[in-house]
Amino acid sequence: MSFRQNLLRARGHIVMICALIAGLLLVLWLETLGEPEPDSTRNMAQDLMQPFESLSPLPLAIRGESSERDMKHARIAWTYFQNNVDEETGLANSVHNYPSTTMWETGSYIVAVLSAERLGLIDRAEAEARLGRVLSSLQSLRLFQDTLPNKAYQTRTLELVDYGNKPSELGLGWSALDVARIVGTLGLVERNHPELAGEVEKLLNHWQLDQMVQGGELIGTNVTAGEVRRNQEGRVGYEQYAAKAMMLFGYDVYRAYEVEDNLMVKQVEGQPIPVDSRLHRATTPAFVVSEPYLFDGLEFGFDDRSHRFATAIYRAQEARHAETGKLTAVTESHLAEAPYFAYSTVWGGGSPWAVMTFTGERIDSRRTLATKAAFGWDALFGTDYTTQLVDAVEAFADPEKGWPEGIYEETGEVNGSTTANTNAVVLAALAFKATGPLMRVVP
């Protein structure tokens, strides 16, 4: 029989052997050759986060009680709201005797009420009544294009206004960060006053919150020359704080919560500082301040990442004092004179310790030792340095008016503007010392 005939007779066996070899090769390929290519993007993200992963977060300083000094400080802060809440609408002025507010400041008032209740400055019935009036007024607001709250309202009339507190028929648009802020504080209301949960849900169902979430990001609107434009809002710090707030009510803001895609790390006083790689207002390098980390820790409680970021940002300020002798507690602040608002940064506009206007101009002479940063860092970390910060601002409290914004570093003069945000943070900080974050329900 010829070789050709033998092959033909054995063709079934040959096919089976070839199939076994092919299967073996396939398995080997899947196990070895089939390994995915390294993800360079993931590796870069891991490299960016490495300085924070090797950083030991400072322990939290929840004391479990309030001292007499704490209560004195709290009563001064609560005085601001006794003076600045409209009797009919129940909304608080953003600045002393200035009848205008934003959703951010309204959220601050909610935080102030919850904190005052925890500290025993008001009882549960008064807290519920105050919160109920806020919810009622929020329900009756005319929304921007019937969608979401406008950027500013008159506290007495609830009219849509511009930033000069003048009526505006169209409005200014909505701020995604401001709306997220009040959404987060409404989540705190539900946790601490479940009897108001129905009113909270009714309000949030009335607002079209889905319009400010797109592709996992937070979207705000601006009015330019009568044209409404949408834009992504938030930079590292504020963006993650706002994302946490929206997550409380089930919104998918995964891109806003993540940081790696937009993170760069700058060394300031030997500390890794998380800086957003995107520009502020598309023109100015982004800035880093204390505020979003204070709010996150005092209200929600840190997650592991925000705890490490906050530690680095605090330590840089402590280190600046050790190097220069200048008490440093920087954040955004209202100013008593033009331009009326400034960001005192750890990093901003491309350099450390810059002080910037909203439009990106440098005004370093307005660097402020901020009252809210002093109290916030003291509540969270309770170090010898934070004690010095509180001691420094204590002398400038006004028992008849509330806590001022702070002290100008260059002159030592008081930045005498008195605001809802600062006095709310003081209350939240003192409540944190006694009971921890506001999200934690007190038995």
Give the Cα separation of 49 and 42 in Å (integer). 11
Give the Cα separation of 100 and 166 in Å (integer). 10
Q: What's the CATH architecture for 102-258?
A: Alpha/alpha barrel (1.50)
First CA to last CA distance, the chain: 95
pLDDT in tens, 210-237: 999 999 999 999 998 889 999 999 999 9
Average pLDDT over residues 377-392: 98
Quick one: pLDDT at residue 23?
A: 52
Give the Cα separation of 253 and 248 in Å (integer). 11
Using 50, 70 and 90 to split pLDDT, how confident is the model at 5? low
- Cα 20 to Cα 13, 25, 29, 30, 33: the distances in Å are 11, 9, 14, 15, 18
Task: Detail the DSSP E strand segments found in 191-323.
Answer: 213-214, 217-224, 227-232, 263-268, 271-276, 279-280, 284-285
Average pLDDT over residues 380-405: 98
Average pLDDT over residues 94-107: 98
Using 50, 70 and 90 to split pLDDT, how confident is the model at 30? very low
Q: In the chain, where are the structural domains located?
A: 62-85+263-434, 102-258
Q: Residue 271 pLDDT > 50, yes or no?
A: yes
Contact predicate 119/57, CB 8 Å: no
DSSP letters of 99-167? Answer: -EE-HHHHHHHHHHHHHHHHTTSS-HHHHHHHHHHHHHHHHHPPPBTTTB--S-EETTT--BB-TTS-B
DSSP letters of 11-31? Answer: HHHHHHHHHHHHHHHHHHIII
* Of residues 394, 388, 396, 390, the one with CA closest to residue 413: 396
What stretches of 209-269 show up as alpha helix (H) in DSSP?
238-247, 254-257
Average pLDDT over residues 60-82: 97
Cut 0.85: pTM above it: yes
Which of residues 283 and 92 earns the better pLDDT score?
92
Contact predicate 154/204, CB 8 Å: no
Provide φ and ψ at 415, rounded to 5°: -80, 95
Using 50, 70 and 90 to split pLDDT, how confident is the model at 47? confident
| Torsion angle of the four alpha carbons 113, 115, 117, 119, in this order, in degrees rounded to the nearest 10 | -150
In 3-state terms, the chain is what percent helix, strand and coil (to 5)?
A: 50, 15, 35
Q: Residue 8 pLDDT > 50, yes or no?
A: no
Quick one: pLDDT at residue 21?
A: 57
Average pLDDT, the chain: 91
pLDDT in tens, 129-157: 999 999 999 999 999 999 999 999 999 99
Give the Cα separation of 348 and 354 in Å (integer). 5
* Of residues 248, 210, 254, 256, the one with CA closest to residue 232: 256
- Cα 295 to Cα 377, 405, 407, 439: the distances in Å are 11, 16, 21, 12
